[in-house]
Structure 1
C-alpha cells in the first residue's frame, strides 16, 4: 500500500499515553510501506531531544524511546515545528535520529497531495 501518512503529536510528558500511541501508529504506517512523517508541535517538540523519552514507558506498549528509534530505523522522518521548538529553547544539536526542525511549509508540502493523517 504505497502512499503517504502523517502522525501529528502535540504532547510529551504531559500525556505520555498519547505520545506513545502516536509512535505506535507511525511505526504501523512505516511497516505498511507508507512514506511516514511524525510532526511534533507544541509540547510534542520536547520528544525531539535525545534522552527525553528514555523514561517514558506506558503499560502494554514498548518504551517510547524504542518506538522512536524503530520508527527512524524504518526510514520514518520526524518534522519538528520550528517556532514551537524555538519557543521552548530546545537544542538543535541534540535531535533524535530522523528529526529535522522545519517550518510549517515543509509539512504542507508533504501533505499537498491529499495525505491521510491522525493527531495525538
Structure 2
C-alpha cells in the first residue's frame, strides 16, 4: 500500500500561520517521499498564479510560502479547485506550470484511495 497525503488549503493572506503550516506539512511530507497532493481552495487559490506566493508575508521562523510550494511541486501534485478558479477568473493558462485545475470528484477520488490521509487547513 502506498502512503499518500492530501492537504486541502482553504486559507490565504487572511490566515498566514494556517497557510504556512499547511504548506510546511506538505513540503515535509514530499521531502520524506510521501505521495503528496495539495488542493488550493478559497483564498489560497491565488498561490497558483505566478508571483502571488512571493507576495505572501514571510513569517518569523518559517520557510517562505513560495519555497514550500516549489518543494511540493517538485515532488507532488498541486491542484486548484475548479470553482475557486472560476470565481477568480483563472484558467490553466494563468497558472504556475505543473498546477492543474480539477473539481470535487477528483478530490473525493484522492482522499478515498487506500492508504490516503487527508488534512484540511
**Structure 1-normalised TM-score?**
0.89
Question: Partner of 2:117 in structure 1?
Answer: 116
Question: Partner of 2:49 in structure 1?
Answer: 49
Question: Partner of 1:65 in structure 2?
Answer: 66
| Distance apart, 1:85 and its partner CA | 1.0
Q: Is the 8 A contact 2:72 2:78 kept in 1?
A: no
The runs of 5 or more residues in structure 1 that have no matched partner are none
105-114 vs 7-16, which moves further: 105-114
Any idea what the Cα deviations from partners look like across 1:63-117, whole Å, max 9, x if unmatched?
A: 11111112111x2111111011101112421212431100111111112225211
The runs of 5 or more residues in structure 2 that have no matched partner are none
Q: Give the root-mean-square deviation of aligned CA atoms.
A: 1.7
Q: Is the 8 A contact 1:46 1:90 kept in 2?
A: no
SS at match of 1:107: helix
**Structure 2-normalised TM-score?**
0.88
Question: Partner of 2:40 in structure 1?
Answer: 40
> Structure 1 segments of 4 or more deviating over 2 A?
none
Q: Is the 8 A contact 1:10 1:40 kept in 2?
A: yes
Give the Cα–Cα distance (whole angstroms) in 1 for the partners of residues 93 and 13 of structure 2. Answer: 21
**1:15–1:83: structure 2 CA closer, same or farther, 3 Å change rule?**
same
1:17 aligns with 2:7: no
